[in-house]
Amino acid sequence: MSYPLRQLEARLQKVVTVISTEIEQDDPKLKGQYVHRDSSGDKFLWGPTPEMHKFHNVESVAEADHIMFLCPACFAKNGGAKGTHQVMVTFAGRNVPEPAGTHDANGQPSRWQNHRRRVA
């Protein structure tokens, strides 16, 4: 069975790297980690490196670094979006940092190659 991407709630997104300069001082378990805050100023992510990767929706494939959509197999099994997980496919050649985007079973970045037909 196949579904249009619109029905699978497909979204084109761009990866944006955010650099934190704030280091956790208060929480003893997270002390020394880099802190990221949400738009209301609340801490929501801690990490050993200052970079964090966010995804912004964009309108065109040219701007996009990846596409997200509902898994078509589970969409069919579940009879819709409820309980269906998302699939993410990162495009090759878009300068997506290695820790962001998709990874294979060995933890290596996996990128979707664009197989262009050669025109003779």
Contact residues for Zn ion (CB under 5 A)?
71, 73-74
Cβ proximity to Zn ion: between 20 and 78 the closer is 78
Cβ proximity to Zn ion: between 75 and 91 the closer is 75
Compute the least distance from the CB of residue 78 to Zn ion, in Å: 9
Q: How far from 13 is each of 18, 69, 86, 113, CA to CA, in Å?
A: 15, 11, 13, 17
Compute the least distance from the CB of residue 96 to Zn ion, in Å: 23
Spell out the long-range contacts of 100-103 with Cβ–Cβ below 8 A and sequence spacing 24 or more: 100/15, 100/17, 100/53, 101/15, 101/65, 101/66, 102/66
Cβ proximity to Zn ion: between 12 and 70 the closer is 70
Cβ proximity to Zn ion: between 36 and 84 the closer is 84
Q: How far from 17 is each of 14, 23, 60, 76, 100, CA to CA, in Å?
A: 10, 17, 19, 35, 9
Compute the least distance from the CB of residue 84 to Zn ion, in Å: 7
Compute the least distance from the CB of residue 16 to Zn ion, in Å: 27
